[in-house]
Structure 1
């Protein structure tokens, strides 16, 4: 699996058309559609975008995305349950000769969540792989793209509470997960984090996706969500994860360099402690599409991202409507690397 900062052919997304993501009122639906559109248009500043759209929403989607972006935004038609392409879509990989593959993890609604449906979404990875011209590679384990990050050189970040979740892979051991991920992703060094951010274990959470906790920005360098306020439960999580990362080595035998990126100053919303995270960004061709929260720490975080990705333009989208629905910018996008 190439690192996210490798050159992309395009980015894939899915259109919000059903369920809790769309919301219960016309106003909720407008917010969801506008936010997904804002992300698509931001990504299209840097590279082409393809959105999977159910048949009944084709014309509506086209009205929102328009046709005036620097790079095209195309549509592929398929039925959807939800709109989190990082998790329902394929994880793209490259063969040694550059041939494109699409890993199709078993998808079961983030471990069989009571509110989730996934009859359509469980088929999206194979449909997207076909549309991308990728070799379809089925997996024997349940998983989602938001549950992993790679450095492109053999090292992977993942969390115990996702990969060993009884609702996903009951009875699986770390060895079982490592064997399958090694086979599919070409990784050989596994950095297991004990858990994710606190809010992510709530009703609409993933039970610990790593892509709001930590990410590689280059081989040997990890960007870590850093909660500075001792009153927030993620204050302890940040420190536990940092200690583990600093004690780890990557596939090349390097000790990891860890850069803290501050959590937003906002600590709570109506549902409790927030898991708003600037780690949940997408690296594009020449750019970074990052979360903003109308928060006093937005600019501090953007400076960290600019330093972490020199030479790339960093743009933002207000991600509060995404996190209200259980995710962020990285969660609704999936990069397709350039291939032969």
Structure 2
């Protein structure tokens, strides 16, 4: 298929649809319930600003999802007819459907950003879907039936929107590690795409294939992800004063935690101060990684000869989560480690006592959706005032970057515990109206 006329739009461009995966039923306990509350807040914030799709995949009860939404004040109707109505047709101005579209696409994953629908467009209203391989963040063989199931779910979502032409690839790639400027430029973490996801290929082969399937003119490779967003199998990343080891809470290792396109030539990049880097080893290593990315970005020239405009945004104050072994979330991690031999790649065994993770909090994991921007915040009553100060600093940056959009900060901590955030758990799509010419 000739892809030369197609492009992947930037997130800051118009959108029509946003998909969300509901938190599965096996995520029980207070954190699972808290994570669903974040999704409720995200859905509420998106209504009227895009067509909202909620997928209840494998191990997820549609009935339980609807009951939760009903308890949150949504007017729940027959999902096969009208979905969940939240705003009237008059309030939505006829632009977007005034109800939630429910789906039961088979998908055992959670971060729909990564395996959800990838849709490119041309200037005449045509669409083409891009279908990468999926390997559960390098935890499984990409040819396993379960991985193919998750891969197909994104295809089915796009087909449901009327996308019938497809380009396929044998390479593994996740949406959270792809940042597009809408003009043929993509940012991605090199360590993730090349060494972690596609080790059987050279960097040159990966780049050639990505330029083919995404019709790219340029790929900006930033070296590494943030430490707390890196592969948990690498082992602990810090130690508390009482000796408790601190583990990351993610497999992802994605660019969208700290480096985002907010315009064709504008980047929002997380910053770690010298003072923060001197205070703990995680910030020290994050500063090294981010500074390496900054050096690449500041020396980058786009295909149209423009330099990048780099705007800095603070990193949140670290938030540790300590749980007992019997906590459902901890049991999920323990089961995973049992399956890989009971220890990390560095030989560190699974802890016998309290489990402590560094929540993958980030101000970079935001969603731009037409006239609104859904950001993440972390301060609650009773928490360290320094957390609120960071929230306020980040909010000021967002207001500077998006002066004509409404900023909606969402308390995303409980969702971040599952290794993703507002951006990870949403997947935006633009389906244009086909030209009659």
TM-score of the alignment, normalized to the shorter chain, above 0.5: yes
Identify the match of residue 219 of structure 2 among 185, 190, 211. 190
| Aligned-partner Cα distance in 1 for 2:150–2:66 | 22
Shift of 1:185: 1.7
Q: What is the aligned partner in structure 1 of residue 308 from structure 2?
A: 256
Matched positions, count: 334
Shift of 1:248: 1.1
Which secondary structure does the structure 2 equivalent of 1:165 belong to?
Answer: helix
Question: 1:157-216 CA distances to partner (integer Å, 9 max, x unpaired)?
Answer: 0011111134x2122122222222222222111110000100122425235200002011
Q: What is the aligned partner in structure 2 of residue 282 from structure 1?
A: 367
> Is the Cα contact below 8 Å between 2:117 and 2:429 reproduced in 1?
no
Shift of 1:123: 1.7
| Aligned-partner Cα distance in 1 for 2:216–2:374 | 26
1:34 aligns with 2:61: no
Question: 1:244-287 CA distances to partner (integer Å, 9 max, x unpaired)?
Answer: 21111122121111111001123644435554211110100101
Q: What is the aligned partner in structure 2 of residue 10 from structure 1?
A: 17
Q: Structure 2, unaligned stretches of length 5 or more? A: 1-7, 75-84, 93-97, 233-248, 323-355, 380-386
Distance 1:316 1:98, change over 3 A: same
> Is the Cα contact below 8 Å between 2:225 and 2:289 reproduced in 1?
yes
Q: What is the aligned partner in structure 1 of residue 336 from structure 2?
A: none
CA RMSD after TM alignment: 2.2
Question: 1:59-78 CA distances to partner (integer Å, 9 max, x unpaired)?
Answer: 22222332324642211222
Shift of 1:300: 1.0
Q: What is the aligned partner in structure 1 of residue 125 from structure 2?
A: 98
| Aligned-partner Cα distance in 1 for 2:211–2:117 | 16
Shift of 1:80: 2.2
Distance 1:113 1:269, change over 3 A: farther
| Aligned-partner Cα distance in 2 for 1:211–1:199 | 13
After superposition, residues 228-243 of structure 1 pair within 5 angstroms as: 228=273, 229-230=276-277, 231=280, 232=283, 233-243=285-295
| Aligned-partner Cα distance in 1 for 2:33–2:250 | 22
After superposition, residues 16-55 of structure 1 pair within 5 angstroms as: 16-17=23-24, 22-23=26-27, 25-54=28-57
1:321 aligns with 2:414: yes
After superposition, residues 1-340 of structure 1 pair within 5 angstroms as: 1-17=8-24, 22-23=26-27, 25-54=28-57, 57-65=61-69, 66=74, 67-69=85-87, 71-112=98-139, 118=147, 120-134=149-163, 135-166=165-196, 168-203=197-232, 204-228=249-273, 229-230=276-277, 231=280, 232=283, 233-266=285-318, 268-270=320-322, 271=356, 273-294=358-379, 295-296=387-388, 297-339=390-432, 340=434
TM-score (norm 2): 0.72
Shift of 1:41: 1.7
Distance 1:207 1:79, change over 3 A: closer
Shift of 1:45: 4.4
Which secondary structure does the structure 2 equivalent of 1:164 belong to?
Answer: helix
Which secondary structure does the structure 2 equivalent of 1:152 belong to?
Answer: coil
Shift of 1:223: 0.4
| Aligned-partner Cα distance in 2 for 1:32–1:272 | 16
Shift of 1:219: 1.4
> Is the Cα contact below 8 Å between 1:92 and 1:100 reproduced in 2?
yes
| Aligned-partner Cα distance in 2 for 1:95–1:106 | 24
Which is worse superposed, 25-34 or 300-309? 25-34
TM-score (norm 1): 0.91
Q: What is the aligned partner in structure 1 of residue 343 from structure 2?
A: none
> Is the Cα contact below 8 Å between 2:121 and 2:127 reproduced in 1?
yes
Shift of 1:151: 0.4
Bigger Rg, which one: 2
Q: Structure 1, unaligned stretches of length 5 or more? A: none
| Aligned-partner Cα distance in 1 for 2:395–2:200 | 41
Distance 1:12 1:252, change over 3 A: same
> Is the Cα contact below 8 Å between 1:89 and 1:104 reproduced in 2?
no
